[in-house]
Amino acid sequence: MSNEFKGRTGIDRIVRAAGHSASGLRLAYTGENAFKQEVWLAAAMLPASLWLGQGWVQVTLLAGSVLLVMIVELLNSGIEAVVDRVSYEWHELSKRAKDLGSAAVMLSLLLCAGIWIAALAQRFWGI
């Protein structure tokens, strides 16, 4: 069985991949409330990372932790979409997949919060 999308190469593949990525971001923003909230928080936190970070390593950690939350949220939304595509019926494996995705989002949020709290503590209290 041949897949017409697998034979693309060069600039055509890059353009199409970028289009699919943009479509995914639009879908996440319009269809996932959590992702929309994270986009608005990122709009504030990414510029703030330039102000708060003391050196490029801290800025990268602060900004990267925010982007990591958004990446994990996108992956979690993908998992939920696939599970829902298979069936809306309750199933232990479906629950497991969704719970594991949710746990990944929670851990990324905790990591982000920890990095930001540590940077704030160092900046304002010298800790």
Alpha helices in 53-91, H assignment, sequence order = 56-86
Determine contact, residues 32/25, Cβ cutoff 8 Å. no
Catalytic residue check, 4: no
Query: Which candidate in 32, 73, 89, 92 is catalytic?
Result: 73
- Helices 33-52 and 92-125 cross at an angle (nearest 10°) of 20
41 Cβ contact list (under 8 Å, min separation 6) = 66
Q: Which residues are catalytic?
A: 73
